[in-house]
A and B are shown apart, each in its own frame.
Chain A
């Protein structure tokens, strides 16, 4: 192949004034910068959400505590849940998707760069609106502050009668605005993956991260809208005198629940599927083997995507649906555990027969596997409806979903941080600090969330600002709170590592992990245009083919 060289002028970033460089970040449409913005935004809210959690745990450390008032506590659990789901986990996953998907499919940017920027700023506005409620929520009655209706905002608690002031409106508006941003990002991800893969990269040859983000984006498209619709209905009720959820006028409280959970359940799969993506990219590299059963992994994920749309009312087993409805949702809930379990087996199959290197990303992945297994099993327990009649609305459920989100998703996310930080910044994160972060987090996590199951089994409901002594709940709440502080230290260590390594970390080079997907073929950090020339691929592991020309993957796929 003939090639020509063209001289490119080098832009020396170090000498540009800080104002110019900040302006760059504000107006950027580059997927890499937007990805970093999403991630940094999410990290900020992770710390804020963690403080809200710590406040709650201190209040619950002993019964009849007076650390905060019930008003403040109720705001804390509402804000903590809303923040963590919508302004931490969703943005950080969108951020990684934004950064990695074009690089991994051999594209120069996302399909719609300006829509990308718009979506980010919508999400950022949403977060700002939610927190502005602390100041602006009073409204005419002088009542209201931050929302205190729980992150599901069940009707009719959210009606004007029971939630005067504007606190519920800030909840609604913040999520409406960021919801539009999420839909924009989802459209972008789908269009990018379907329309911008490099030559040779058929759908069967693209990295699992791309596949899983495609499924996730499809689910956002279908699942975000029910929430948007329900919130529009709620606003019509609160401001135009509508009666969607007005039980006095014959409206239904349960229809809010249906609409919310039709969004809410696929939402948690939206959160976990990108975590699966991280594990599916990292475990193979550190086991030195390709992912076991790529086609089955794709099929299982698509299957999860579809089946998870049919399980939503397992959040509503106690509302008095008839036995047929309860049975239906019980079986669909248990059914979705099958493809999920298959994925766990495939990850184990990937490690099996490999040569596992326990660097920090792999440690976090193993933690993810272990904890996701347990979380999935407690999920099966909750799916057996009568068992859920006892456990729903109790600390058992709180323990289950934190096991999923913290033990599963957050651990996989940390694996992703340690794995891709070198690509994004050009420097390695400190390995010793990383291992310390892992072990501290593991200990703190298990102290808190293993033990948290027990008060649920002993009858402790959730969303209570205090509890009665003598019910056997005290010691477990004490231990749970202690674990919180250990986790906090671990997270702060991580933030310190992020900052410290940015300037002092060892240089990473293109491919510090000896990996196989396209992002490792470019410099760290990548140039703005990603690839000097768009690559052509022949297999799922293009860099494996280059490094092992005698035994390329395309011979076996």
Chain B
């Protein structure tokens, strides 16, 4: 190598300095992350509120600790090597040519193998605990059917059908009432992910998957579809309302009722029943029994429409009916092209579907 005039090789110092800097920045980020304001609005996997998510959180702490330790050690070795063994003077013989060492190779093979074994045992235990959990008697059963781009929820034993916003009772650890979800798909692959309640499980056509949650705290937990399912994958949002037992029972009672018919909105109802709406939507107690789109019997009981894409207000409802592409371009809801009068009447009718 050509001889160069001796000068401080800043590169060798800058490297580890940059590395330490990055490390510090990262630790700060991580710390801020963990202590970040927890509202249920932030679906952090580090704020679990249900046993599957708890188990995963426990495992993740162990994994992070082990990998963190490995990182510190190996990074330390790299930094040390880079500083200590940098070329200092421009001349000088080649350093001792060392070809290897069997003892060292054995050592740094055996130790990683042991680490892998420890990690695997912890992992296998959590896998089994979550996947092979038995369904207790008090469990709520929900069938989740994924569609492009909305969620259908059917409670077969309770006789309830709804969409996009899942209601479950809070689960008391002493008398657990978890919710067991059966996951199906009507079209392509989807994935049910509400991070604070559980890991995600996919909804795959022609396949039945299962998962369960047992939320400890009431509140609203957000999530969304986590497997690319087409144009509007991004707006296939998810909300889980964890209600107290009383609230949940009350909700079920309301949902089981058919739609009440009110004379004031007869015109709107007539428009609904004579336009293409009935081909896709169901309103129980009427002729509408389409299954392609969400069940609208209790549309007004939901906080959002279009699977969470926009809040459930009369204005948004009108926009959604007239021009769904402005809210969710590529969704399978067609633009109904009603005149203003019909649109108002229809919306007034829909507003009565509580």
In this assembly, does A461 line the interface, its C-beta being within 8 Å of a C-beta of chain B?
Answer: yes
| A510 to B182 alpha-carbon distance, docked (Å) | 68
Query: Which residues B175-192 have CB closer than 8 A to chain A?
Result: 183, 187-189, 191
Interfacial chain B residues near A514, Cβ < 8 Å:
1
For A458, give the chain B residue with the smallest CB separation.
B44
**Interface residue? B126 (CB, 8 A):** yes
Contact with A along B37-50 (1 / 0, CB 8 A): 00001111110000
Q: Does chain B have a CB within 8 A of A502?
A: no
Q: B276: which A residues are within 8 A, CB to CB?
A: none
Q: Which residue of A lies closest to B89 (CB)?
A: A355
Q: Is B78 an interface residue (CB 8 A)?
A: yes
Q: Determine which of A254, A293, A338, A461 lies in contact with B224 in the assembled complex, contact meaning CB atoms within 8 Å.
A: A461
Contact partners of A292 in chain B: CB under 8 A: 98-101
Q: Which of B197-205, B260-268, B282-290 contacts A (4 or more CB under 8 A)?
A: B197-205
Tell me, yes or no, whether B250 is within 8 Å of chain A by CB: no
Chain B binding surface, main DSSP class: mixed
With A342-B112, A366-B15, A393-B191 as known contacts, state yes or no: A74 contacts B231, CB within 8 Å.
yes
A337 to B18, CA, bound (A): 26
- Chain B residues with Cβ below 8 Å from A459 are 42-45, 193, 195, 222-223
Cα separation A462 to B97 with both chains bound (whole Å): 48
Pair B18/A442 contact, Cβ less than 8 Å: yes
Min CB gap B192→A, angstroms: 9
Which of A230-238, A378-386, A482-490, A521-529 lies at the binding interface?
Answer: A378-386
Which one of B99, B101, B195, B227 lies within 8 Å of A390 (CB-CB)? Answer: B195
Q: Which residues of A contact B223 (CB under 8 A)?
A: 459
| B329 at the binding interface (Cβ < 8 Å) | yes
How far, in angstroms, from A330 to B41 measured CA to CA in the complex? 31
Q: A156 near B: Cβ within 8 Å?
A: yes
**Which one of A112-120, A132-140, A172-180, A464-472 is at the interface?**
A464-472
A157 at the interface (CB under 8 A from B): yes
A202 within 8 A of B: no
Contacts of A272 in B (CB 8 A): none
Nearest B residue to A382 via CB reads B63
Contact A467 B204 (CB under 8 A): no
* A162 with B12, Cβ < 8 A, contacts A253-B207, A355-B92, A472-B42 known: no
Chain B CB within 8 A of A535 CB: no
User: Which residue of chain A has its CB nearest to the CB of B86?
Assistant: A356
Q: Chain B residues near A341 (CB, 8 Å)?
A: 108, 112
Contact at B94–A355, with CB atoms within 8 Å? yes
CB-CB under 8 A from B92, the residues of chain A are: 355
Task: Check: A90 CB closer than 8 A to any chain B CB.
Answer: no
CB neighbors of B among A63-94 (8 A) = 69-71, 74
Pairwise interchain contact A348-B200, C-beta atoms closer than 8 A? no
A20 within 8 A of B: no
Stretch among B66-74, B161-169, B240-248, B340-348 lining the A interface: B66-74
B138 smallest CB distance to A (angstroms) = 24
* In the complex, chain A residues whose CB is within 8 Å of the CB of B67: 377-378, 380-381
Cβ of A390 and Cβ of B74 under 8 Å apart?
A: no
Contact with B along A313-337 (1 / 0, CB 8 A): 0000011101100110011001101
Stretch at the interface among A39-47, A186-194, A367-375: A367-375
- How distant is A542 from chain B, measured CB to nearest CB, in Å? 15
A131 neighbours in B (Cβ, 8 Å): none
Tell me whether A247 and B205 are in contact (CB under 8 A).
yes
**Which A residue's beta carbon lies closest to that of B198?**
A389
The residues of B that contact A472 with a CB separation of less than 8 Å are 36, 41-42, 44
Interface hit among A98-106, A258-266, A282-290: A282-290
How far apart are the CA atoms of A548 and B96 in the complex, in Å? 13
Q: How far is the CA of A253 from the CA of B185 in the complex (A)?
A: 11
**Residues of chain A with a CB closer than 8 A to B237's CB:** 468
Q: Is the C-beta of B225 less than 8 angstroms from some C-beta in chain A? A: yes
What chain A residues lie within 8 Å of B22 (beta carbons)?
446, 450
Q: Is B19 an interface residue (CB 8 A)?
A: yes
Does A363 have its Cβ within 8 Å of any Cβ on chain B? yes
Residues of B within 8 A of A392 (CB): 200, 226
A330 touches B123 (CB 8 A): yes
Tell whether A295 pairs with B195 under 8 Å between CB atoms, given A370-B78, A374-B71.
no
- A402 CB–B CB distance under 8 Å: no
Minimum CB–CB distance from A504 to chain B (whole Å) comes to: 19
| B279 on the A face (CB < 8 A) | no
For the complex, is A141 an interface residue (Cβ under 8 Å from B)?
no
Number of interface residues of A (CB under 8 A): 104
Which of B88, B193, B329 is close to A461, meaning CB atoms less than 8 Å apart? B193
B109 interface residue per 8 A CB criterion = yes
Please give the distance in Å from A145's CB to the nearest CB on chain B.
12
Which one of A150, A322, A366, A380 lies within 8 Å of B78 (CB-CB)? A366
Residue B31 interfacial (CB < 8 Å): no
Task: Indicate if the CB atoms of A435 and B226 lie closer than 8 Å.
Answer: no
Q: Which residue of A lies closest to B46 (CB)?
A: A457
CB distance from B257 to the nearest CB of A (A): 32
Minimum CB–CB distance for A60 against chain B, Å: 10
Q: Does A531 contact B (CB under 8 A)?
A: no
CB-CB under 8 A from A442, the residues of chain B are 18
Whether the Cβ atoms of B123 and A463 lie closer than 8 Å is no
Q: Which of B127-135, B152-160, B294-302, B315-323 contacts A (4 or more CB under 8 A)?
A: B127-135
User: What sequence of 0s and 1s flags, for each residue 8-44 of chain B, a beta carbon within 8 Å of any chain A beta carbon?
Assistant: 0101101100110010011001000100100001111
Q: Contact between B100 and A352 (Cβ–Cβ < 8 Å)?
A: no
Q: Is B336 an interface residue (CB 8 A)?
A: no
A86 nearest CB across to chain B (Å): 19
A557, B99: Cβ atoms under 8 Å? Answer: yes
Q: A322 CA to B124 CA in the complex, in Å?
A: 12
CB-CB < 8 A to B206: which residues of A? 247-248, 250-253
B78 CB contacts on chain A under 8 angstroms: 348, 351, 366, 369-370, 373
A147 to chain B, nearest CB (A): 12
**B105 interface hit (Cβ, 8 Å):** yes
> Does residue B143 face the partner (Cβ distance < 8 Å to A)?
no
A377-427 contacts to B (CB < 8 Å): 377-378, 380-381, 384-394
Chain A positions 141 through 165: 1 when the CB is less than 8 Å from some CB of chain B, otherwise 0 = 0000000111000101100001000
**For the complex, is A121 an interface residue (Cβ under 8 Å from B)?**
no
Check A254/B1 contact, CB under 8 A, given A330-B123, A348-B74, A384-B123: no
In the complex the two chains form, is B64's CB within 8 Å of A389's CB? Answer: no
The 9 closest A-B pairs by CB, nearest first: A389-B199, A459-B43, A464-B234, A320-B209, A358-B11, A247-B206, A293-B100, A247-B205, A459-B195
Further contacts, 13 of them, CB under 8 A, given A157-B228, A327-B120: A74-B228, A150-B228, A154-B188, A250-B206, A253-B189, A292-B99, A351-B78, A386-B126, A387-B60, A454-B33, A464-B234, A465-B234, A556-B97
Which residues of B are at the interface with A, using a C-beta cutoff of 8 A?
A: 1, 9, 11-12, 14-15, 18-19, 22, 25-26, 29, 33, 36, 41-46, 53, 55-56, 59-60, 63-64, 67, 70-71, 74-75, 77-78, 81-82, 85-88, 92, 94-101, 104-105, 108-109, 112-113, 116, 119-120, 122-124, 126-128, 130-132, 148, 183, 187-189, 191, 193, 195, 198-202, 204-207, 209-210, 222-235, 237, 308, 329-330
A interface residue numbers (CB < 8 A to B): 69-71, 74, 148-150, 154, 156-157, 162, 247-248, 250-254, 287-290, 292-296, 318-320, 322-323, 326-327, 330-331, 334-335, 337-338, 341-342, 344-346, 348-349, 351-358, 363, 366, 369-370, 373-374, 377-378, 380-381, 384-394, 435, 439, 442, 446, 450-451, 454, 457-459, 461-468, 470-472, 513-514, 548, 551, 553, 556-557
A-B pairs with beta carbons under 8 Å apart, 21 shown: A70-B231, A253-B205, A288-B94, A296-B100, A318-B191, A320-B183, A327-B120, A330-B123, A335-B116, A342-B112, A352-B85, A356-B82, A386-B126, A386-B127, A387-B56, A390-B199, A394-B226, A454-B29, A457-B44, A461-B224, A551-B97
